[in-house]
Structure 1
Amino acid sequence: MTVLNGEDEVAELCRDLIRIDSTNTGDNTGPGERAAAEYVAGKLAEVGLEPRILESDDRRASVIARIEGEDSSRGALLLHGHLDVVPFHAEDWTHHPLSGEIADGCVWGRGAVDMKNMDAMILAVVRQRLSEGRRPPRDVVLAFTADEEAGGAYGAQWLSEEHPELFEGCTEAIGEVGGFSVSLDDDRRLYLIEAAEKGIAWMRLTARGRAGHGSMLSAENAITELAEAVGRIGRYEWPVRLTPTVETFLVETSRALGVELDLDDAEATVAKLGPLARMIGAVLRNTANPTMLQGGYKANVIPQTATAHVDGRFLPGYEDEFFKTIDELLGPNVTREFVYHDIALETGFDGPLVRAMADALVAEDPGALAVPYTLSGGTDLKAFSRLGMRGFGFAPLRLPADLDFSGMFHGVDERVPVDSLQFGVRVLDRFLDAC
């Protein structure tokens, strides 16, 4: 077998994946992930693995492969990434989002940040190691999933419920949205490793009243009831709640910045983080944002019902408080139901796996400081955690100080520096040796 170099091919793998349209429209009408799954399976088969492509529905495909480690009696490690991407408006982009263009030292396109970059790094490091005949210390399971961008019903959720045997022995997992750098100065960088995720509550609110003519008096107007409930929810100021992960992040970040930390004013510390403040600020508290309104069908008809949607996110340990508050804000004449509901996650930032991540980062960047953080969104880890896995977000990237990486998640002009991808390959290789 020809020996491969992961650093040499990671950018090409990334651009190939970006060029495969795997847009997830959220209603199962998109192109699906089958073409991307076949590409990934082919790259794994070239280095001797026997990947399986599993379809949960037409074109909704995931890829699973297992690498036998030196000691299969140990708990296995899951490396997971998703193949789908969110929709885009191509006219808003500098380079077409399906072009995989390499320009200004970056790979451009939808998925360059979320998360075909990590898919490419996993493929690159696995292909290099296997071509060199290097096995990991323990079994490693690879999962490239469908449908993460719509909650995973056709991907990680389906796999964990219908094919749990494929993850037999997996005790720990590594996935997306973590391990990227935030520059403190020229010599020091924080690397944010996801150790917690907010829970998700997408809710449909319904108000019911009495239908009637728009010219008449109405004390039971569904739109009025709904609008008042939406206003109360949208304007509510949720209290700050410091979870263990958030508190550890604030302590470590304050120490690194050399600023005094006042846990009674956590927002002051977060404000010093520049563009990252958007991402971190949302994990100081629960959130609930109204996102959709619908009611009525004619200007002179008072409708019997009106509906709204709210995107709710709750911190680990604060789910009961979240729903108690929501129900109080709704009032007596508005009901709620779930469009989508999933758990919050949190794990301690300690143990051999954490040390392996931190050590691999420092080996490639002596100015690295690994810190845990809470993700305001959700990932496939929620589904895999139900199989008993402890997981982290660790897609290591050393980024330029002026690149607003977090702002490109689901945004316009997604791009990732080629040298950041190569850095990630080196770090993942060291990590796999130590884990």
Structure 2
Amino acid sequence: MHATPDETPDRTADRPTGDDHATTGRLPRRAFLGGVGVAVLGVATAGGAGAFQRTSPPSTGMSGAAIPAADMDPLDLLKRMLSFDTQNSGQGGKTRPHAEMLKAVWERAGVTAEIIDTPQPDNVHLLARIPGQGSEKPLLILGHSDVVPVEEENWDVDPFAGEVVDGEIYGRGALDMKGANSAMISALLRHLDEGATFDRDIIVLTDCDEEAGSYGSGWLAENHWDKIDAGCVLTEGGWFLAQSDKTTPMLITATRQDNVYFNIDIVAKGTATHSSKPMPDDSAIVTLSRALTTLGEWEARVELTDVTREYFRALADATTNRDFAKVIRLMLKAKSQPSRERAAALVVKHSDYPYLHRALLRTTHAFVIQEAGYKENVIPSEATTRVNCRGIPGGEKPRDFLAAVRKLLADKEVEVVLAGNPGESEEQALARLDTTWATPPADIDTDLWRALESAAEETYEGTPFAPALFEAGTSLGPWREKGVPGYGVYPYVLSNEQLIGMHGNNERIYVEALQQGSDYMYDVFGAMRV
């Protein structure tokens, strides 16, 4: 087992430094078209990082001193981020050492950075602010520092070593979302190294408790809103998808809306008795298992919204797989629910990202936690499974999904319970979810959205760009509640296997894609230079 947060070892002592890394020029604009199985960015697979090579004469950061090349190298920076164990098992993580490392990075660039303590020891936020001319409200870059726990025994490499193997960098958080943080921060540092001034302040918030906990962005907004008040926010979200070869960019997306997060519990009861005399017809565990089998074989109905329709239209135009494009268009043209369901099944079947595209078509339900029993010689009287659900805003309402599950399991002798907030009645929880479900997508008539789009055209020449729905959730809630537009990108091209590694084992991204993602973010921020 890995060390608990309070016992987290300091893994930074052996991290590589910028002096160990070779430098290369900027990637070709069009794409990385393979070659990820060998040396990447001039990096041997032994694990050295490919440092950013300046494309203009060295300048100075805001401090007047040259910014270290290693800090502008997204791979070097990501390796350092990954070396910190910031696992969050549900009650926050230990993020202070990670924050102190990043604070030093910002200070070397002459940028003021502040660690914001929370009531939980060593669980902190880091806030850096790059002053601009103030002609626009600030842009806030939102990236979380905590990561989900690892099953270390199921990894092929140390999840906190940032090891590069066959052109991919492995580590917990490599995808979600230290990789994105590295791409964005290194891009900003490149601008500062060139002496750039922006038309607005840029706030970079590396927050804690995004994966769970009491002191995340909501707590920060309640206690320090003046520090994070912004006109637009950019965080994790949109996927950069590849063609069937797993590397050539197919579709660049930015998300303007998150799915609706809620949980239900499936509860079965039975007779508690001695385990030497089992009662198969009165077993809570057996009853629950039968209900879960039924629920596991069922899917919610397909629902297309304006946001997801636009996404799938763009996907049909972007793919080189003609069969995939054909079934997408069939789904979009379907006039009846049965024909839409049949076409949607074919979309998932033909997709190189089947689990992603299934999740964008309907409310999903995933079995995540199971509880039953407390002693091996006692048959328990109750068994419960937590089901995590993600609903599509403007699609099927959570209350309708709940009703459908109850109807499905009506004869299974189980109770279906909506797991609301503490002290919240079911109707109060449903009303809250109704409000979230009805929240409109972020306005895309903004300069930040236009920068995201134009940067895609520049960095991934010839690759379509489209708005999308994020099938998961982010920390954007406090800003969305105030009507502040918020968007999301994971700025690197991913294969389906890498996408599955998110919150799973052997999480990793392509080194070359990370570098190109940093180039993309450089172009995004370049639109705000004066």
With normalisation by structure 2, the TM-score equals: 0.72
User: For the residues of structure 2 that align with 1:68 and 1:389, how far apart are their CA atoms?
Assistant: 20
For residues 243-296 of structure 1, the C-alpha deviation after alignment (integer angstroms, 9 at most, x for no partner) is 22211111111123353311222342343331x121121121112233333344
Q: What residue in structure 2 maps to residue 21 of structure 1?
A: 85
| Residue 141 of structure 1: how far off its partner (Å) | 1.7
Would the alpha carbon gap of residues 224 and 90 (structure 1) be closer, same or farther in structure 2, given more than 3 Å must change? closer
Would the alpha carbon gap of residues 301 and 364 (structure 1) be closer, same or farther in structure 2, given more than 3 Å must change? closer
Q: Is it true that 1:157 corresponds to 2:251 in the alignment? A: no
| Residue 299 of structure 1: how far off its partner (Å) | 7.8
Which segment drifts farther, 334-343 or 382-391? 334-343
Q: What residue in structure 2 maps to residue 408 of structure 1?
A: 501
Q: 2:143·2:177 contact (CA, 8 Å) conserved in 1?
A: yes
User: For the residues of structure 1 that align with 2:71 and 2:122, how far apart are their CA atoms?
Assistant: 31
Q: Is it true that 1:324 corresponds to 2:403 in the alignment? A: yes
| Residue 143 of structure 1: how far off its partner (Å) | 0.8
Identify which of 385, 394, 399 aligns with 1:308: 385
Q: 2:491·2:520 contact (CA, 8 Å) conserved in 1?
A: yes
User: For the residues of structure 1 that align with 2:70 and 2:113, how far apart are their CA atoms?
Assistant: 19
| Residue 16 of structure 1: how far off its partner (Å) | 0.5
Which segment drifts farther, 290-299 or 361-370? 290-299
Would the alpha carbon gap of residues 68 and 204 (structure 1) be closer, same or farther in structure 2, given more than 3 Å must change? same
Give the number of equivalent residue pairs.
427
Would the alpha carbon gap of residues 187 and 222 (structure 1) be closer, same or farther in structure 2, given more than 3 Å must change? closer
Would the alpha carbon gap of residues 129 and 410 (structure 1) be closer, same or farther in structure 2, given more than 3 Å must change? same
Which segment drifts farther, 328-337 or 232-241? 328-337
Q: 1:189·1:367 contact (CA, 8 Å) conserved in 2?
A: no
Q: Is it true that 1:336 corresponds to 2:417 in the alignment? A: yes
Q: Is it true that 1:135 corresponds to 2:197 in the alignment? A: yes
Would the alpha carbon gap of residues 407 and 301 (structure 1) be closer, same or farther in structure 2, given more than 3 Å must change? closer
User: For the residues of structure 1 that align with 2:208 and 2:127, how far apart are their CA atoms?
Assistant: 11
User: For the residues of structure 2 that align with 1:193 and 1:15, how far apart are their CA atoms?
Assistant: 25
For residues 148-193 of structure 1, the C-alpha deviation after alignment (integer angstroms, 9 at most, x for no partner) is 222x53222221232222222x132111132524226797621132
Q: What residue in structure 2 maps to residue 262 of structure 1?
A: 330
Identify which of 28, 35, 45 aligns with 2:97: 35
| Residue 242 of structure 1: how far off its partner (Å) | 0.8
Which segment drifts farther, 337-346 or 250-259? 337-346
Mapping of residues 5-16 of structure 1, within 5 Å: 9-16=73-80
Q: 1:33·1:59 contact (CA, 8 Å) conserved in 2?
A: yes
**Identity of counterpart residues, as a percentage?**
27
For residues 355-412 of structure 1, the C-alpha deviation after alignment (integer angstroms, 9 at most, x for no partner) is 211211111221221123322221212344224322221232245xx67331221233
Would the alpha carbon gap of residues 266 and 231 (structure 1) be closer, same or farther in structure 2, given more than 3 Å must change? closer
Q: What residue in structure 2 maps to residue 360 of structure 1?
A: 455
For residues 70-119 of structure 1, the C-alpha deviation after alignment (integer angstroms, 9 at most, x for no partner) is 234x2322111111112223343333111112343333222111111111
Q: Which ranges of structure 2 fall in alignment gaps of 5 or more residues? A: 1-63, 332-339, 422-428
Identify which of 166, 172, 176 aligns with 2:236: 176
Mapping of residues 389-428 of structure 1, within 5 Å: 389-398=484-493, 404-428=497-521
User: For the residues of structure 2 that align with 1:290 and 1:398, how far apart are their CA atoms?
Assistant: 29
Q: Is it true that 1:45 corresponds to 2:107 in the alignment? A: yes
User: For the residues of structure 2 that align with 1:59 and 1:377, how far apart are their CA atoms?
Assistant: 27
| Residue 213 of structure 1: how far off its partner (Å) | 7.8
Would the alpha carbon gap of residues 333 and 104 (structure 1) be closer, same or farther in structure 2, given more than 3 Å must change? closer
Name the SS of the counterpart of 2:199 in structure 1.
Answer: coil
User: For the residues of structure 2 that align with 1:49 and 1:7, how far apart are their CA atoms?
Assistant: 13
User: For the residues of structure 1 that align with 2:507 and 2:306, how far apart are their CA atoms?
Assistant: 32
Q: What residue in structure 2 maps to residue 65 of structure 1?
A: 128
User: For the residues of structure 2 that align with 1:187 and 1:58, how far apart are their CA atoms?
Assistant: 44
User: For the residues of structure 1 that align with 2:244 and 2:466, how far apart are their CA atoms?
Assistant: 13
Q: 2:190·2:522 contact (CA, 8 Å) conserved in 1?
A: no
Q: What residue in structure 2 maps to residue 203 of structure 1?
A: 264
User: For the residues of structure 2 that align with 1:167 and 1:322, how far apart are their CA atoms?
Assistant: 36
Mapping of residues 255-294 of structure 1, within 5 Å: 255-257=317-319, 259-260=325-326, 261-263=329-331, 264=340, 265-274=343-352, 276-294=353-371
For residues 119-144 of structure 1, the C-alpha deviation after alignment (integer angstroms, 9 at most, x for no partner) is 11222122222333312222222110
| Residue 50 of structure 1: how far off its partner (Å) | 2.0
Would the alpha carbon gap of residues 433 and 24 (structure 1) be closer, same or farther in structure 2, given more than 3 Å must change? same
Name the SS of the counterpart of 1:62 in structure 2.
Answer: strand
Q: 1:6·1:128 contact (CA, 8 Å) conserved in 2?
A: no
| Residue 240 of structure 1: how far off its partner (Å) | 0.4
Letter in 1 for 2:417: R
Q: 1:78·1:140 contact (CA, 8 Å) conserved in 2?
A: yes
Q: Is it true that 1:371 corresponds to 2:466 in the alignment? A: yes
Q: 2:373·2:379 contact (CA, 8 Å) conserved in 1?
A: yes
| Residue 227 of structure 1: how far off its partner (Å) | 4.8
User: For the residues of structure 1 that align with 2:372 and 2:85, how far apart are their CA atoms?
Assistant: 35
Identify which of 137, 140, 160 aligns with 1:75: 137
Name the SS of the counterpart of 2:161 in structure 1.
Answer: coil
User: For the residues of structure 2 that align with 1:349 and 1:37, how far apart are their CA atoms?
Assistant: 32
Name the SS of the counterpart of 1:285 in structure 2.
Answer: coil
Q: Is it true that 1:351 corresponds to 2:445 in the alignment? A: yes
User: For the residues of structure 1 that align with 2:306 and 2:70, how far apart are their CA atoms?
Assistant: 37
Mapping of residues 99-248 of structure 1, within 5 Å: 99-150=161-212, 153-168=214-229, 170-183=230-243, 189-207=250-268, 226-227=288-289, 229-248=291-310
RMSD: 3.2
Q: What residue in structure 1 maps to residue 44 of structure 2?
A: none
Name the SS of the counterpart of 2:148 in structure 1.
Answer: coil
User: For the residues of structure 1 that align with 2:153 and 2:300, how far apart are their CA atoms?
Assistant: 37
User: For the residues of structure 1 that align with 2:153 and 2:376, how far apart are their CA atoms?
Assistant: 35
Letter in 2 for 1:11: L
| Residue 310 of structure 1: how far off its partner (Å) | 1.3
Q: 1:164·1:387 contact (CA, 8 Å) conserved in 2?
A: no
Using CA pairs under 8 Å that are at least 6 residues apart, name the structure with larger relative contact order, 1 or 2. Answer: 1
Q: Is it true that 1:249 corresponds to 2:311 in the alignment? A: yes
Letter in 2 for 1:233: L
